[in-house]
Structure 1
Amino acid sequence: MKWGRIETEAGIVTGVIADGMLHPRAGLGSDEAAGDPLPLADARLLAPCQPGKFIGLWNNFHAAAEKNGNTIPDHPLWFLKPDSSVTGHGSEVELPAAAGRCIFEGELGIVIGQTIRQGSEAEAEAAILGYTCVNDITSLDVLNADPAFPQWTRSKGFEGFGVLGPVIETDVDWRALTVKVLVGGRERQSYAASDMILSPAEIVSKLSHDVTFSPGDVIACGTSLGARPIRAGQEIEVVIEGIGAVSVTTVAPSEA
């Protein structure tokens, strides 16, 4: 099942996507219908949810850890992206002058479907609604500007630096997925989700002992090898077969 969110003349609607239509629901993950089906052709596709908490992970893939000489973590190494960083398919993402050098990071995103606090791995598995594509855009210059304090949140928190979409897929085996990034139609990143150090259920369970998760919260599982610099004027597409493809175009800073 695919969940999505669209903007129409009447407002923002969440529902199930099927046969070119969005079937409105009372809420994310709800079985309760909330109106007549709406044609996707007449609507703008948004990020499939608006997370209250948008968590990103670092150092969660064996291949990248080995290449970079990082130790294997036993607890997720995490940071927060502000909700204002969230954007969806087809958006333009401004690369601010203050951000300097930026890179794309194609990632698998976990979407929470029910409240969970201090949950077991089994409870965490049940709390996962589905998966989405993420582009965790990062300013390298900001991240490393102060040697005394890596600025994880600021470097990843600019407007539009949290790309989600195009949908949330509930019926997919994360172990069989491959995360790819295309820049201008050319493949620049490709890695297997199965190379994750901590599985989605482990991630959600362990993090639920740090924070309380609510429906719609998102966890980006971290990236692996192949993240590259980006510049204004590029189309950047994160593709995960079985979920879909989310694409944005980078633009230069506005004069304002």
Structure 2
Amino acid sequence: MQWARIQTEDGTILTGVIRAGALHPRTALGASESAGDPVALDDATMLPPCVPGKFLGLWNNFHAAAAKNGLTPPDHPLYFLKSATSLAGPRDSVTIPDGIGRVIFEGELGIVIGKTCKNVTPEQAEAAILGYTCVNDITALQVLFADPSFPQWTRAKGYDGFGVIGPVIATDVNWRDLTVKVLVGGRERQSYPMSDMIMAPTDIVSKLSQDMTLHPGDIIACGTSLGARPVKAGDIVEVVIDGIGTLPVTLVAAD
């Protein structure tokens, strides 16, 4: 099953399930109750598939990247929060603010929470996960380390549009079989297997739920591995995960 969120030609925003080229509206994300007639996807604009109350991103969650960078695998997720206004969706244009220096893409798998959970076990966390989506965790790398006294994770990753998700939330994929790829201008620039993750999604959700209550629609970006690199205004960046879809955005310069 694939969940999506669309805007119709008259401006109506709908959440529902994709089937036979149409969105079948539901009353809420993950709900089974119908909320109207199907809408052809050709007549709608795809939006981020959910609006997270919390958008969390992980650091140091892949064995290959940890080994290359001399990092010790963590016992608890190392994470940051992206701002609500960083949210962007398929085919959006993302503006690179003036004066922030190098910007990099980070193709990632995103966990989408489907049920409220707090202090859950990994087994309980399985039931709390609605599905998975593509993420492009765009980062202003020079801003991150501009002040040696304080790494600026929130600022570097919180600019408008720097948290791209979509195109859908897939509920029937096995994360162990997935490969995250990133294309820039049609050329493959990043490719790595999700099976290399240090912490499995159920462990991530369980451990994060010890720190905070997770709600339906919350996004957890699983972190990236080797291959993230700089991009510039004019680039079309696509995160591709077979079984979920292709998530393209265009980077543009500030006016």
- TM-score range relative to shorter protein: over 0.9
- Partner amino acid for 2:221? A
- In the TM superposition, what is the alpha-carbon distance from 1:83 to its structure 2 partner? 1.2
Give 1:160 deviation, angstroms: 0.5
How far, CA to CA, are the matches of 1:213 and 1:239 in structure 2? 26
Task: Give the secondary-structure state (helix, strand or coil) at the position aligned to 1:165.
Answer: strand
Structure 1 counterpart SS, 2:195? helix
Query: How many percent of aligned residue pairs carry the same amino acid?
Result: 67
The CA distance in 1 between the partners of 2:13 and 2:101, in whole Å, is 34
> Distance between the aligned counterparts of 1:178 and 1:220, measured in 2?
14
Equivalence map 1:60-99=2 (5 Å): 60-99=61-100
Offset, 1:151: 0.3
SS at match of 1:208: helix
Match for residue 5 of structure 1? 5
In the TM superposition, what is the alpha-carbon distance from 1:2 to its structure 2 partner?
0.2
| 1:125 equivalent in structure 2 | 126
CA deviation string 1:157-184 (max 9, x = no partner) = 0011000000000000000000000000
TM-score by length of 1: 0.98
* Secondary structure of residue in 2 paired with 1:97: coil
Q: Which residue of 2 aligns with 1:137?
A: 138
Q: Distance in 2 between matches of 1:97 and 1:201?
A: 39
Within-5 A mapping of 1:1-256: 1-8=1-8, 9-254=10-255
Gaps of 5+ in 2: none
- Counterpart of 1:23, as a letter, is H
In 1, Cα distance between equivalents of 2:83 and 2:183: 25
Count of equivalent residues: 254
Letter in 2 for 1:4: A
User: Per-residue deviation at 1:99?
Assistant: 2.3
Could you say what secondary structure the match of 1:63 adopts? helix
Stretches of 4+ aligned residues off by more than 4 angstroms? none
Provide the alpha-carbon RMSD of the alignment.
0.6
- The one-letter amino acid of 1:129's match is L
- Report the Cα distance in structure 2 between the residues aligned to 1:98 and 1:84, rounded to whole angstroms: 20
Q: What letter is aligned with 1:78?
A: Y
What are the ranges of 5 or more consecutive residues in structure 1 without an aligned counterpart? Answer: none
Q: Distance in 1 between matches of 2:16 and 2:208?
A: 27
TM-score, scaled to structure 2: 0.99
- Structure 1 residue identity aligned to 2:3: W
Q: Shift of the alpha carbon at 1:98?
A: 3.4
Render the CA deviation track for 1:4-23: whole Å, top value 9, x for unaligned: 00011142100001111000
